[in-house]
Structure 1
Amino acid sequence: MMLRKIVLLVLCMCLLTSCWSRRELNELLIVLGIAVDWEDGEYLVSYQVVNPSEISAQKQSGDRPPSTLYQGRGKTMFEAARSLTAEAPRKVYAGHLQIYVIGEKLARRGIADFLDNTLRDNEARMDFNVVVAKGAKAEDILKIYTPLEKLPTQNMLKSLETSEKSWAPTVSVTMDQILSTLSGDGKELALTGIQIIGSQKKAESKENLETFLPPGRFRYTGLAVFKKDKLIGWLNEKESKGYTDITNNLDSTSVELKCSENKYMGIEITSSDSRIKMEMNNGLPEAHIYFETEANLVDRGCKEVNLNDPGVIEQIEHQVKGVMQSNADASVKHAKKLKSDIFGFGSTLGKQHPDMWEKMKQGWNEEGFPALKLHYHIEVHLRKTGTTGNTTMK
């Protein structure tokens, strides 16, 4: 009986697990931002890590920056990451990664190889956002001192999230979404661009925080258009608005309607839903794009416009439709010129007409997409014109 108890106890102990792989916090470098560049035939990897003592609420010395940059070089991403251990006092931990910045030079060379290395890291989650440094090195983006938020990557993340919700030309794309796009057919990749405005030199020093308007700062601008895994061009602000609307990424934005010389009416798009339906016509696919949009009038630049007249409201709605179609047309026109279906028309064709897609997918970007006819069906509903209606102010 005693022997049975001993055996049972041993078996229970075998089921217990221990923290064999644990690592203490003070043994790690917490990485919040990663920048990857291509320089002199090698990968240049930059890790932005937290200085805990500088962001702690209990102890703030103010003598050091809130984050530190460690860099490594190598022919492969793995070699570059390991080479930085010659400088870093601890092992890096990417489990809290927020922003991943790709240099434009590297993006034009191709991103598949180094993304493959990132995906093999079992510590990194795939929900971090990826952006492209426009006309700059990715490492320079992570060196900026930013106001309000001590950590530059946190500032960039919140700015991207806010901009996506309130300003149409930007869209947040996570690593798992990139993997899905590059692994599928019928849709090419588009990533938000980020650039440096003003003085890069001053942006890298505390002097950047000593004025009301920082002399060096970042700004999200345009969308990077990819073909396969290579950057091939950029959409401007107008074209980027058209892209986010067609792909149903538009949450809220603004539209300016000219009502007289040098005067405009401001319209706030409060919601916009879109869907794509592919129909066959004489054996060829045609795309029908449906927009359902709600808006408010927020700025009445021309006082002579009578907002109590239903006919005027219809006219404003018609003008908003024209702006939305103009943005969409500009976006599609540029994408067709680049021969890159970033909207996913091919993917939609594959879902709705799989037999036709099988015939066209091999030459879709080169022939099918550039020749695709589009039809817009836009519904705009102006819900509010302001609490004062027609103002009595002179």
Structure 2
Amino acid sequence: MRCKWAVIILCLLMLTGCWSRRELNELLIVLGVGIDWEDGEYLISFQVVNPSEISAQKKGGDRPPSTLFQGRGKTMFEAARSLTAEAPRKVYMGHLQLYVISEKLARKGIKEFIDNSFRDNELRMDFNIVVARGTKAENILKLYTPLEKLSSHSMKQSLETSQKNWAPTAAITLDETLNKLSNPGYELALTGIQIIGDPQIGESKHNVESFLPPSRFRYSGIAAFKEDKLIGWLDQQESKGYTDITDNLDSTSIEVACGEHKYMGIEVTSSDTKLKTKIQNGLPEVNVQVRVEANIVDRPCIDVDLMDPATMKHLEEETKKIVQSNMEATVAHAKQIKSDIIGFGNQVGKEHPAYWEQVKDEWNDETFPKTKVHYDIQVFIRKTGTTGNTTMK
């Protein structure tokens, strides 16, 4: 009997509750972080939730839905701790959704503060990282956005939606960033975000009181890195080619010319890309195999007969040319800046490890620009819409 009671008491001692718990009213819930470089120091901006302004039970007041707290320091840790001089609570990073890096800091290098983020045990690995293009990271987080009260959440949703439906954007998480910075044969690429209009107007609630906000964000281009430094930007065509050749394309639109200033609208509904490599005469060759399925969504040229199999074959060939042109533009730009953002080197390392050991140290500067690329693209147009040829004269 005594033994039984001893076991029960020991079990009760183990159930002492959440010893490390923290109440919500003791924390600042961080949704967005912006990192700038000013006067030789890190300027870190935390966008934190203002719970009383987003509560469903309470009507919003005059305060903004989120607040920005900032700190400076020679290290990220010092900058983060310095903001406690004005912040009433300790920051909590477990719900972080967006991490914005200024273009100035990205050109300087990002390994140091990315490493700092990785060491924080409260951080999850699924938040997105973007580069503030032509503006400070803090300006991005100060922006009032329509529909969504919390701008970081709005930007994260827009990034993920754009990647799935438009293509010139890539929703890269911390996990993927660390993977590309750590693995040889793969350089980092991050989506850029910019402000359209006057950033100062965007800081005011009046920004969302009109049908078209005078100041708004837009994802623009993909930032190409070498090692950990930003060295160039991909334009829209190259960005589309990047998401396609790296097998991150879900859906996008392609316009095929069918007359003077008229274009057939082609919707890509799926795209599957595979890379195969071989070594020929001491140099690698890459075969890019792409299978694309698409639908016709716009037919302004009424003389195009969608019921004719020859017409469909022609449209598939023209779509194939555009897909290949996008990829070729991406590869050409990557070779020009000598940065393998596509991951050819990583694929060579998997398939030809002995050869990779010989060329990995000079891959970006010497071998990658000489790599031959072949394209094997198949395009299948599955649907022409519910009406086929239009009945309108």
Show the 5 A alignment for 1:33-182: 33-182=32-181
- Counterpart of 2:341 in structure 1 is 342
Show the 5 A alignment for 1:19-38: 19-38=18-37
Deviations 1:139-181 (A, max 9, x none): 0000000000000011101101110100110010100111111
CA RMSD of aligned residues (A): 1.1
Deviations 1:24-62 (A, max 9, x none): 100000000000000110000000000001000111232
In structure 2, what is the Cα distance between the partners aligned to 1:8 and 1:73? 53
Is 1:257 equivalent to 2:256 in the alignment? yes
Is 1:229 equivalent to 2:228 in the alignment? yes
Q: CA deviation at 1:262?
A: 0.9
In structure 2, what is the Cα distance between the partners aligned to 1:24 and 1:385? 56
- Counterpart of 2:291 in structure 1 is 292
Question: Residue type of the partner of 1:297?
Answer: I
Q: Secondary structure at the match of 2:53?
A: helix
In structure 1, what is the Cα distance between the partners aligned to 2:17 and 2:384? 64
Question: Residue type of the partner of 1:373?
Answer: K
Q: CA deviation at 1:16?
A: 2.9
Q: Secondary structure at the match of 1:324?
A: helix
- Counterpart of 2:212 in structure 1 is 213
Question: Residue type of the partner of 1:26?
Answer: N
Q: CA deviation at 1:126?
A: 1.1
Q: Secondary structure at the match of 1:369?
A: helix
In structure 2, what is the Cα distance between the partners aligned to 1:311 and 1:132? 45
TM-score normalised per structure 2 = 0.98
Q: CA deviation at 1:14?
A: 3.9
The answer to whether the Cα contact below 8 Å between 2:283 and 2:370 also exists between their aligned partners in 1 is no
* Structure 1: 5+ residue stretches without partners: none
Q: Secondary structure at the match of 2:334?
A: helix
Question: Residue type of the partner of 1:367?
Answer: E
* Segments ≥4 residues shifted beyond 6 Å: none
Q: CA deviation at 1:390?
A: 1.5
Q: Secondary structure at the match of 2:158?
A: helix
Q: CA deviation at 1:301?
A: 1.5
Question: Residue type of the partner of 2:200?
Answer: K
The answer to whether the Cα contact below 8 Å between 2:254 and 2:265 also exists between their aligned partners in 1 is yes
Q: CA deviation at 1:8?
A: 3.8
Is 1:270 equivalent to 2:264 in the alignment? no
The answer to whether the Cα contact below 8 Å between 2:240 and 2:326 also exists between their aligned partners in 1 is yes
The answer to whether the Cα contact below 8 Å between 2:41 and 2:73 also exists between their aligned partners in 1 is yes
Give the stretch that moved more between structures: 106-115 or 280-289: 280-289
Q: CA deviation at 1:282?
A: 2.2
Q: Secondary structure at the match of 2:305?
A: coil
In structure 1, what is the Cα distance between the partners aligned to 2:134 and 2:234? 14
In structure 1, what is the Cα distance between the partners aligned to 2:212 and 2:272? 37
Q: CA deviation at 1:6?
A: 5.7
Give aligned-pair identity as a percent.
Answer: 66
Q: Secondary structure at the match of 2:46?
A: strand
1:259–1:22: structure 2 CA closer, same or farther, 3 Å change rule?
Answer: same
Q: CA deviation at 1:13?
A: 3.8
Q: CA deviation at 1:309?
A: 1.1
TM-score normalised per structure 1 = 0.98
Q: Secondary structure at the match of 1:370?
A: helix
* Alignment length (residue pairs): 393
In structure 2, what is the Cα distance between the partners aligned to 1:166 and 1:58? 35
* Structure 2: 5+ residue stretches without partners: none
Show the 5 A alignment for 1:317-328: 317-328=316-327
The answer to whether the Cα contact below 8 Å between 2:54 and 2:60 also exists between their aligned partners in 1 is no
Deviations 1:196-235 (A, max 9, x none): 0012111110111111000000001110000111111100
In structure 2, what is the Cα distance between the partners aligned to 1:393 and 1:12? 79
In structure 1, what is the Cα distance between the partners aligned to 2:282 and 2:370? 13
Q: CA deviation at 1:15?
A: 2.8
In structure 1, what is the Cα distance between the partners aligned to 2:178 and 2:60? 42
Q: Secondary structure at the match of 2:94?
A: coil
In structure 1, what is the Cα distance between the partners aligned to 2:186 and 2:4? 63
- Counterpart of 1:199 in structure 2 is 198
